[in-house]
Structure 1
Amino acid sequence: MTATEWTENLPTNHVMMRLIDYESNKTIGNEILCDPCKFANEKTKAKVHCHECKEYFCEQCLSYLHKRKRDNNTHTITTITEDMPLKPFEVDELCPVHSGKVLEAYCFDHGNLCCSLCFMTNHRKCDVKSLDEIANDKKEDLNMDDFISKLVETEQSTESLIKDKNEKIAQLDKNKEEILQTVNGILSDTKSHLDSLYEEFKKSTEKTFLNSEENQKDYVEWLVGFQKTLINCRRMANAVREHGSGKQIFVTKERLKFSLEKHFQRMTLSMQYSGYDEQYEADIEEELSEIQRWSKLASLKGKKLDKHALRNFEKTMGSLTERCNKFLCTIPVQVVSFPQHSVPFQFLGKIWRIECTKDGSSLGMYLELISGDKSDCSRYVSAELRIIHTSDNTKDKVQKFTHRFSEAEPDWGYESFINWIFLVSKSNGFISNGLMKIQVKLTQP
C-alpha cells in the first residue's frame, strides 16, 4: 500500500469534520449545515443532531435517510436551536476496536483511549480514568500550547528530513553518474591502451612473418640453384659413362663430387641463422587472458552517510508521541527456537524491544535499544521487567535494573530471569494459550 492509499483509508475523524464545519460556519452566519446535503454539494440548514451517527440532518434527510433505518430508531436526536453553539470537542469518538462503542476512558499505563469493553478486556488492572474525570481534574494539563509547539517542531524536523532525503536522491543520481563515468572512462582508456598495444603487436608480427617468409624464399632459391647443379652433374656423369675412358670417368666423378661439396658448403654457410622452418604462437600476457574469465566488470560498495536529519526526526517524533512509560507485549513460549523478540516500542525518542532467551533451565530477558542515536544516550534508564501472572498480580515475576545504554552496550537484562520449568508449569499460572505477558516500565532516574 502506498502512502497515498494509506491516508485515503484512514477512518473518518468526526472531531475534525466538526472543526471544519466550525470554520466554515464563521462565514455563513454561524449556521450548521446538513451533512448528507453537503455530500451532495448542497447547503441546507440542519435542524437536528444525531449523537450516535455524529451527523447533522435537515428535516428531509432526517425523514428519508435517517429514520428509515431500523437500527437508527433508538438514536438520540437533539433539536438545534438558534443560539446553540457548535462545540466540536463534545462529539463522542467511536472506539476503533469495538463497533458501536464510544471512547470513555484513558489508560495511563498503556497510553490508550478505551471504551467500556476495552477496559473490561485489557485494562482492569491498569491506572484508568474516565474522560470526564480527566477533563474536570484541575491537576491534568489540558493546555495544547506545548503539544502544538512539539507539532511545529516535528513539522520542521519532518521538513528537514524531506529536504535531506531529496538531497540524498539528487546525490544518488549524481553518485550513479560519477560511478558510471569513472568505470566508462577506465574502460575506454583500457580499450584505447589495448588497441595501441594491438597495433604495436600487429606491426611486430607482420615484420617477423615478413622476414621469415623472405628467409624461406631465399632458402628455396638456394635449393633451386643446387637442384640445377645436381641436374647438370647428372648429365655430365651420364655422358662420361657412355663415351669416356676409365681415367676420364674417375676424374669426372671426383671433380663433380668436389664441385657439389663446395656448392653445398656455400649454400649451408649462407643459411646459418634462425628463422627457417619455424612456427610461431602468441605468448599472451596472463592478465589479458584472465579478463575472459571475469564474471563482472565492477561492483558497488555502500558507505554510511551522516544521519543527522533522521536522528533529529526520531527524537522530535518520540517527544511528540510519547504517551506512557509502560509497554505490554506477549511472547510465545511453545516455540522451536530462541531468542524471541517483542513488538518494538518507543521511549525517549528511541525504539526499544524485549528479547527473551533460553539457556538450559532458565529464561533470560533483556531490554534492547535497537534504533536511534545510541551515542547520545548518555543518561541512565531504569527498567522494570515483569512477567504478569494470569490471575494474581501479587505473584508477578519482577526484576529491576538501571543502565546507561550506548553503542558499546545497547542491551541489558538478566541471563536467568525465571526458571523455565516453573514458568511453563500450568499450575503456576504464568502461561495462557501458550503465551506469557511481559510488561516493561521505563523511567529516567
Structure 2
Amino acid sequence: MASASGSYCGVCEAQDVVKAAAFWCPECNEGICTSCEKHHRASRGTRKHEVTSMDDYKQIPPIIASINQYCPEHDKKYQLYCSQHEQLCCPLCITTNHKKCDLLAIDEIVKTSRNSALFEIMEQNLKEMKNNIDRIVEDRRQNLEIIKQQRQGFQTDIKEMRAKINIHLDKLEQEIQQDLQAAEQKVMSQINRFVQKVSDHEKTIDELQNNIAATKRFATDLQTFFGGKMFEAKIQEEEKFMTSLIEDSGLQQIHLQCKLDNKMSDILSMTKIGEISVTTKPSTISMTTDREKQAQKRIPTISKTINDINLTLLKQFEISKGENGIGITGCTIMPSGKIIFVDQSNDRLVIHNDNGLFVCAIPVSHRPIDVTCIDENTVAVTHNAEPYYIEIINIVNKKNCKPDRKIQSVLRHYK
C-alpha cells in the first residue's frame, strides 16, 4: 500500500523496505523508486501507465491530487462518467446508483480534456477576474486619493471661514469699542459742563456768604437793612437755580449700556461649525466577464453586404469519431448553445456542449444528410436514402433512440 504522503516507494514498502519515491504513478496511486520504475515501465500490466516525477507530482494542487483512479466503494477502476450526476463510475456503480443514467466512456471524454476549450475559457475567465480585481484596487486607490483631496479642501475652507469670521468680529469689536468711547466722551462732556455750571453758582453762594458776614459785622444799620433785601433777592435766584436743577433732570444718574446682538449669543450656543457626512455615488468601474464577451461575439452586427463580413475564430475542437471515422454533412446550434453534428458515416448525431466538450452520440436511421433545431429538446433530421423522410428526434431521451415520428417525403433531400 502506498504511504500516506507518497514520499516512499509503495512497491518497496510492501516488501518492508523504506525507499524514497522518485516517481508517481496515478494509475497505481503510489510512489515508485528509480529501481522499481524500470520494472514498472517494462511490465506488461503497467508499461502503459504514465508516470510523473515526484517533483512534478508535488506541483499538482492537493484537491486535484486527491482525485483517485479507483472507486472507494467498490475498489474498482473508474471506467465511465455519469453526466447526469457528474460522477465517475466503476462497473459496479452502474448496477447500483446509475442504472438509468446516461454514461460516457472515460477514455473518450478525457483524451482531449487537457487541451479542451473549457480550460482555455476558465483561464481566460480567471485572467479577466484578475484584471477586474486590479481595476477595482486601482479604483479604490483613486477613491482614497479623492477622499484625501476632499479632506484637505474642506480643512482649508474651515480655516478660511474661521479667518473671515475672526476678521469680521475684530472689525465689529473695533466699531463697538469706538462707539463706547464716543458715548463716554459725550456723557463726560455733558456732566463736566453741568459741574462747571454748578461750580460757578457755588462761587456766587460763597461770595454771598462772605458779604452777609461782612455786612453784619461792619455795615451800618441802614446798610444792613437795605443790604439784607438785596441779599435775599440774590439767594432767591440761587434757590431757583437749585430747583431748576431738579426739575430739568440735571441730577439724574447717567449710565452707559451695551446690548450685544442676539446673533452673537447664537454663535456662543453653536455646538459645531458644520456636519461631516459620507455619501455614495454609482460606481464608474465596469467589469466584463469572458462569457459576456463570448455572448457578444455570438451576436455580431449584420453587415450590409457579404463583402463586409469578417470571420473571427472563436474556438475550435475535435469531433468525436465513430467506428467508420467521421463524415459531417450538417449541423445546427440549439438555443442553449449545444452544437449537433450529422455524422453520415456512422448514421448518428454527435452532440457537443457550448464549450466544445463531447456530450453524447445518438444513432439515427440510414444516411442522414442534415439536421435543424425545432426547440431545445427536439431536432428534425433529413435522410438522403429511399424511402425519403424526415425524422423528429427528442435528443433528451437518449436511451430511446427511436424517432418520435417520421414525415414521409417524395423528394430527394439535399443540404
TM range (shorter): 0.3 to 0.5
The structure with the largest alpha-carbon Rg is: 2
TM-score, length of structure 1 as denominator length: 0.42
Relative contact order: is structure 1 or structure 2 higher (C-alpha 8 Å, sep ≥ 6)?
A: 1
TM-score, length of structure 2 as denominator length: 0.45
